[in-house]
Amino acid sequence: MRPIDYSLYLVTGRNLLPPDKDFLASLEESIQGGVSVVQLREKDLDTQEFVRLATQSKSVCDKYNIPLLVNDRVDVALAVGAHGVHLGQSDMSVEQARKLLPSGSIIGLSCNTVDHVRDAVLKKVDYIGIGAVWGTLTKKLTSPVIGVRGVGAMLAELDGTDIKSVAIGGIKSTNLMRTLHGSISPSNHALDGVAVVSDIMASPEPQSAARKLKTTFSQFQESCSRHPLGLNDATVKTDLGLLTSESIMDGVTQLMTEIRKANPLVHQITNTVVGTQSANVTLAIGASPIMATEPREMEDLSRICGALLVNIGTMRAENLEGMLMAGAFANSFRKPVVFDPVGVGASAFRKASVKSLLDTWQASVIKGNAGELAALAGTTEVESKGVDSVGSGFKDPKNFVRNFAKRERCVVVLTGAVDYVSDGVSVVALHNGDEILGRFTGSGCILGSIIASYCATASQVAQADPNLDKGGIFRGDMFTAAVAGILVLTIAAEISVKTDDVKGPGTFLPALIDTLWNLTPEQVRELSRITVN
């Protein structure tokens, strides 16, 4: 039997069809749009009617050489000569189905836990359906929603096997890239496909709907072929010895020049303590801030903004909805999302809120101090007190940021006396700065604003150049943007603290804003102290 392409797996649901839309016509159009496997799922038909529909469906699938699988019903699959079956955990056992089906038939199994996957490996099924990844209205769920970030542990169990994987549950074009990007094991074991129901079946134009999904899947595969984490940057050149401090600084100085031309709009959902100074530093470096929290604005703002910053410093329950919506819309429009989990370890409420946010949308950059990132990573190596770290930090910060970036599949910024940035492949250490940055409220928060501003610039640069916009969940070189943000702030701090007007933290902030306004790319290149690892 030829290898099965599981990339776009259609699960049927005739109850979702638009008025006057014929099921078989919809099925054929969806296949023409890129559907590669079809599962006929009909829970309410009697056997005779099910066989009739399965026979008609197989005729359509055979026309395009597309495998037809039948949900649950081995008898129906046998009656029409289907390519195989998909079984739930409470359906006929895999062993019984294998005895009844012809040799070479495909058997898939629904899995909701790691133990389910281990059992599927022992039973040597052909593929597993992992779900539900998102909440869904097309099926009453009997098991908890896994969430995108829960898929990786299940995929890890398939390492070293030939078993394929398909995610299912609430997947649609608007969250598909997030689903694919986040559903990867630590060893970079990715999904082989996604199962879609309503986004195709409920569409009056199923061919177009399927084509959109298929295109997104192809873009994801292309992005992963260039970078292990599917990121749009050049740090993989490290392996070739091409990533150097000089090459990074070339990118930093380009962004510093471009931001003044582009004047990107940066949407900032930030804490109430630092709103004014965050807006002022955004203006000083050449970007434009908009500080908005109303959920009803989030889709419109995501369309026009260059990047989103989410900072939970003064987190309130009523702000969570806006944060969730803003990040989801930013992902759907491929806009960068910079996440600052301020004081995440301080309370159960913050931890739960952050989990909800990161389960809903994909951050492009996560920035935090050692205590915050340790809490986010679930390690007790570094403790925190409120928004501050306690102790000397990580014993091996380079490997921590690299591994955490791999886990969260984004650029990670670890702030401290030495700042570290990683994309899961490379790590750079940045040695600029002055201790006065830690002596006034919100220095870390304004860093988030600056990083978001350069991420917006990098995204606009990529969008304007087809050679740079190569697909993936967001546009632009987030790695260089994060480095640029850190260097601009820390070098400006070094310059500002030496001016005659600065007598302490109170006079430092105005001087810092003035320095950011006047800072040149040449100064940053000359004063930067960067180590590439």
Beta carbons of 51 and 79 less than 8 angstroms apart: yes
Tell me if residue 305 is catalytic. Answer: no
Which tokens belong to 229?
Answer: 């984490």
- Identify residue 492 by its one-letter amino acid code: A
Q: Please list the residues that pair with 269 across neighbouring strands.
A: 310
- Identify residue 394 by its one-letter amino acid code: F
SS3 category, 246 = helix
Beta carbons of 86 and 110 less than 8 angstroms apart: yes
Residue 129, phi then psi, degrees to nearest 5: -105, 115
Strands 388-390 and 265-269: unpaired
Q: In degrees, to the nearest 5, what angle opens at C-alpha 312 toward C-alphas 324 and 513?
A: 120
SS3 category, 412 = strand
Q: Please list the residues that pair with 184 across neighbouring strands.
A: 190
Q: Please list the residues that pair with 71 across neighbouring strands.
A: 86
Cα torsion angle, 139, 142, 147, 148, sign: negative
Catalytic residue selected from 111, 224, 305, 445: 445
Cα torsion angle, 395, 409, 221, 130, sign: positive
Closest to 324 (Cα-Cα) out of 178, 168, 196, 445: 178
Active-site residue list: 445
